[in-house]
């Protein structure tokens, strides 16, 4: 993979694992920021309010360096760590995996817990469609209508589609430029006289 690409999942997916009567439900979600993670956790805790544990791990950022794990009452490092281990072994980021446990009456011991949380997380991720995304630098372009042809020409040449367009007194486009091409593309836009280019 190029240095401006990363792997994540396309949509939510689920997995299931059973060990000595305990049920482990795995849920994987694509996420961008911590705010979304809080929401997803609240929804799951409300839907599965009768479960004993809601353990999770997430990994954010294109380098995957923003991560966290939570054992939610299970013995230290028996739940969150194996869940995070699965996210890493699939090479993913911008992903949240939650494993909901229903206790089956038999204690599983440390190794049994680690295996169960690992399996439930792995099953959820195996059901997911893994996609490659590019790291993008976001910019705003502001210009007069008279410059439309010049701007469209550069967009066409660089294969960029604006994700937001606003046609007021002036035209405003919001665009994402692939990180490895950022300098070169911004330079092209700066050649257009009176076009304002600013990072978002």
pLDDT at 61: 87
Map out the domains of the chain as residue ranges: 5-132, 135-199
95 forms bridges with which residues in the sheet? Answer: 30, 59
Return the structure tokens found at 57: 């791990």
One digit per residue, the tens of pLDDT, for the chain of length 200 reads 557 889 999 999 999 999 999 999 999 999 988 999 999 999 999 999 999 999 999 999 888 889 999 999 999 999 999 999 999 999 999 999 999 999 999 999 999 999 999 999 999 999 999 999 988 899 999 999 999 999 999 999 999 999 899 999 999 999 999 988 999 999 999 999 999 999 98
Fold (topology level) of 5-132: Ribosomal Protein S5; domain 2 (3.30.230)
CATH 3.30.70.260 fits 135-199, yes or no: yes
The CA R_g of the chain, rounded to the nearest whole Å, is 22
Residue 15 and residue 186: Cα distance in Å, rounded? 44
Q: Specify the residue for token string 């060990």.
A: 19
Asked if 98 and 40 count as a contact pair (C-beta separation under 8 A), the reply is yes
Question: Are 154 and 189 contacting, i.e. CB atoms less than 8 angstroms apart?
Answer: yes
Q: What does pTM read for this prediction?
A: 0.78
Q: Which of 95, 101, 36 is nearest to 72 (CA)?
A: 101
Taking the C-alpha atoms of residue 84 and residue 98, their distance in angstroms, rounded to an integer, is: 10
């Amino acid at each position: 993979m190029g240095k401006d690409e990363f792997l994540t999942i396309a949509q939510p997916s689920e997995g299931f694992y059973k060990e000595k009567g305990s049920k482990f439900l795995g849920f994987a979600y694509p996420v961008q920021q911590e705010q979304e993670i809080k929401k997803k956790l609240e929804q799951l805790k409300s839907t599965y309010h009768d479960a004993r544990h809601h353990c999770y791990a997430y990994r954010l950022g294109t380098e995957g360096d923003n991560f966290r794990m939570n054992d939610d009452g299970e013995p230290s490092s028996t739940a969150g760590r194996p869940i995070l281990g699965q996210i890493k072994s699939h090479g993913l980021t911008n992903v949240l995996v939650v494993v909901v446990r229903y206790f089956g009456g038999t204690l599983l011991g440390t190794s049994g817990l680690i295996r169960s949380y690992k399996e439930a997380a792995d099953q959820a991720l195996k059901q997911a469609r893994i996609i490659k995304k590019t790291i993008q630098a976001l910019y705003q372009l502001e210009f007069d209508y008279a410059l439309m042809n010049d701007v469209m020409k550069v967009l066409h040449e660089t294969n960029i589609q604006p994700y937001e367009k606003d046609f007021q007194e002036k035209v405003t486009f919001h665009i994402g430029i692939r990180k490895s091409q950022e300098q070169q593309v911004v330079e092209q836009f700066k050649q257009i006289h009176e076009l304002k280019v600013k990072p978002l």
